[in-house]
Amino acid sequence: MHTTGCAEERNRIVRVTQLLLRKPIMQLPKIAKNHYEILIIMKRLIVLGLLFGVFAFACKKYTVIDIKVVGQPSMTGSMQKNMEQPFFESLQKKTGLPIIVDYRPVDQMGFKDNFELAMLKRDPIDIVSLRFVQNGQDEPSLIGIDLPGLIPDYQTAREIGQAYGTFIDENLQHRYDAKLLGLWTFGPQIIFCNKPVHQLSDLKGLKVRVGGAFMTPLIQSLGGFPIVIPFEQVADSLAQKAIDCAISSETSAYGAKWPAHLTHIYPIVTQMGTNGIVIRLKTWNKFSESQKIRLTDAVNSYVENTWNFAKKINRQASDCMQGTDNCVLDTRYKLVVSPIKRDDKEILRHFAIHQSFPVWAESCNKVHPNCSIRWKAAVEPIMNRTH
């Protein structure tokens, strides 16, 4: 917090007070020898009260809250560069809040994206654009919002986020002294390979990069070899043939220049890439109630725009990775995109219900005893309606 102006105003009032009352306040009754002196003293005290009111106003005016924001990796492309960074860097102007924002992508902070919750709890970080898959080991309830193989589209992802997000918020507040401000998406997480892959069974024997440990059972069930690799290292791993495939959104893959090392895309949705904006409660509570409303409104507007933007930029990235005439981005590739097999959709849904959910529920229930109950109450009605 910056309070230099406060200190200057306080010192100014102290000097004026010394002029008004040339003796300590505790001695005033002793020097008041008649009613006239009492009247003079009372007038001076009134003036002093007004001065302290001015001081309180000045304090509020000059107090500025420093906000350190950790964003998505810079290599994730348009979502980070064209949406997230401009939003946070213009947050003070948009809201009029007394804040100074220091925004930096996570790869410029000196720690990996799977340590974001740990760093939020230990270090003076105020807001995190939280990567859910990567931090699911620390807070398993995060994974429940986007179980591998379960969610097929944007609409379902958004409905589940609205229904289940309150449970995540409760857990973040309880375990990390942090608050969930909003949920957004990178878009469908699909399969990119440097070998021919036309269906899920083609992953057998291939090394597949996944973003977190909770995706490994899916790849293993298909006969592949899952490898957890931080996002910023994937392009090099593909170039060096250390992996055969990787899973991410089209916009993230395009932004990180994966297509330069790829030949095939199998666009079946393994997850929806749901992430969130999280603020430390200590920082949140520095704001007044009206300021909290302004901040919440700004984040809600940003989240709404981000869901729409995700659809747009993933279409653009898809056009350019396939090299169609609709490509409007900088680089055009010629990757082979295979149509999704209907049986593969059923394979993923079956995996989600009979393998993904039970394994995750057991893990989450160890941390939150009512985890699977809360998930079923929030998510099952949506999935039953959309299937």
Residue pLDDT, tens place only, 156-172: 999 999 999 999 999 99
Structural domains in the chain (count): 3
Q: Which residue has the tokens 């939150």?
A: 368
Question: What is the phi-psi region of residue 257: left when phi exceeds 0, alpha when psi lies from -120 to 50, beta otherwise?
Answer: left
Task: Give the mean model confidence (pLDDT) for residues 37-54.
Answer: 52
Per-residue pLDDT, 1 = 55
* Same domain (yes/no): 156, 146: yes
pLDDT at 67: 96
What's the mean pLDDT in 112-127? 87
Amino acid, res. 138: D
- Considering the domain architecture, whether residues 347 and 237 belong to the same structural domain is answered as yes
Whether residue 26 is found in the same domain as residue 166: no
CATH code for the domain of 143 = 3.40.190.170
- How many beta carbons lie within 10 A of that of residue 196, not counting itself? 11
Residue 114's pLDDT band, with cuts at 50, 70 and 90, is confident
Does residue 270 sit in helix, strand or coil?
Answer: strand
Q: Is there a single domain that holds both residue 86 and residue 152? A: yes
Which of the four pLDDT bands, split at 50, 70 and 90, describes residue 63?
confident
Query: Are 214 and 352 contained in the same domain?
Result: yes
Residue 298: pLDDT over 50: yes
Q: Are residues 18 and 132 in the same domain?
A: no
- Report the predicted TM-score, pTM, of the whole model to 2 decimal places: 0.81
DSSP percent split of the chain into helix, strand, coil, nearest 5: 60, 15, 25
Output 200 or 212, whichever has higher pLDDT: 200
Mean of per-residue pLDDT scores for the chain: 88
| Average pLDDT of the segment spanning 223-230 | 95
Q: What pLDDT score was predicted for residue 112? A: 84
Sheet of 99-105: strands edge to edge?
99-105, 65-71, 127-130, 274-280, 178-185
Helices (H), 340-370: 342-351, 357-367
Same domain, 156 and 174: yes
Whether residues 146 and 130 share a domain: the answer is yes
83 Cβ neighbours under 8 A, 6+ residues apart: 302, 305, 306, 309
Alpha-carbon distances, residue 159 vs 76, 164, 324, 382, 386 (angstroms): 25, 9, 32, 7, 11
Domain that holds residue 210: 189-273+313-386
When pLDDT is cut at 50, 70 and 90, the band that residue 382 belongs to is very high
| 202 and 177 co-located in one domain | no
In a shared domain, residues 147 and 72: yes
SS3 string, 25-44, reads HHHHHHHCCCHHHHHHHHHH
For the chain, give the percent of residues with pLDDT over 90.
75
Q: Which long-range contacts does 199-203 make (Cβ < 8 Å, 24+ apart)?
A: 199/266, 199/338, 199/341, 199/344, 200/266, 200/268, 200/341, 200/344, 200/347, 200/348, 202/266, 203/245
Do 215 and 251 share a structural domain?
A: yes
pLDDT of residue 189: 97
In terms of domains, do 141 and 166 share one?
yes
Q: Is the pLDDT of residue 32 over 50?
A: no
Q: What pLDDT was estimated at residue 4?
A: 40
More confident residue, 149 or 7: 149
CA distance 227 to 215: 10
Name which of 137, 131, 128 is nearest 113 in CA terms: 131
With cut-offs at 50, 70 and 90, classify the pLDDT of residue 56. very low
**Per-residue pLDDT tens for 332-342?**
999 999 999 99
Give the residue with greater pLDDT, 197 vs 211: 197
Cβ-count burial of 290 within 10 angstroms (0-12 exposed, 13-18 middle, 19+ buried)?
exposed
C-alpha to C-alpha distance for 231 and 228, rounded to whole angstroms: 9
Query: How does pLDDT run across 79-112, given as a tens digit for each residue?
Result: 999 999 999 999 999 999 999 999 999 999 888 8
Q: What is the pLDDT of residue 122?
A: 80
Which band of pLDDT confidence, cut at 50, 70 and 90, is reported for residue 213? Answer: confident
Asked if pLDDT for residue 16 goes beyond 90, the answer is no
Name the band, by pLDDT with cuts 50, 70 and 90, for residue 57. very low
Instruction: State the amino acid at position 320 in one-letter form.
Output: C
pLDDT at residue 232 tops 80: yes
Q: Does the pLDDT of residue 175 top 90, yes or no?
A: yes
Q: Element (H or E) spanning 369, and its range?
A: none
How confident is the model over 26-30, as a mean pLDDT? 48
